[in-house]
Amino acid sequence: MKSGAVPKTVDEYLAGIPEPAHSTLQHIRKVIQSVVPRETTEVISYGIPMFKYKGMLVGYAAYKKHCSLFPTGSGVERFKEELKDYSTDKGTIRFPPDKPLPDELLRKIVKARVAENKEWD
């Protein structure tokens, strides 16, 4: 993406991400798509890709030296033991672009967020 340009679609966002982060985020997107309800939509919110189902579910992004998953504070807190090898803070999990979160952990986090959003609906 051109500096300062805000992407309008997830595909546009991903097109502007260099390797290895591009492949990592594409993979994360596919894993998330495999477990969310079919009514889930993908949007750009705050300039990054987000999945939306009965509210925001989870987002992801690439930065200069890391990638991040944004499962909200509860998504980090609930899995803090499994995330102990990652840099985290409230609502954010950071990982190297060439070492994404394990698929099974990502699925568990997303499924937990879906269940949470269903409760609040």
Residue pLDDT, tens place only, 60-89: 999 999 999 999 878 899 999 999 999 999
The count of domains in the chain is 1
Domain containing 56 — which CATH number?
3.90.1150.200
Range of the domain at 113: 10-120
CB 88 within 8 A of CB 52: no
Q: What is the pTM of this model?
A: 0.92
State how far the Cα of 72 lies from the Cα of 56, in Å rounded to an integer: 9
Write out pLDDT tens, residues 32-42.
999 999 999 99
What are the residues facing 94 on neighbouring strands? Answer: 68, 87
* Ramachandran area for residue 41 (φ above 0: left; ψ -120 to 50: alpha; else beta): beta
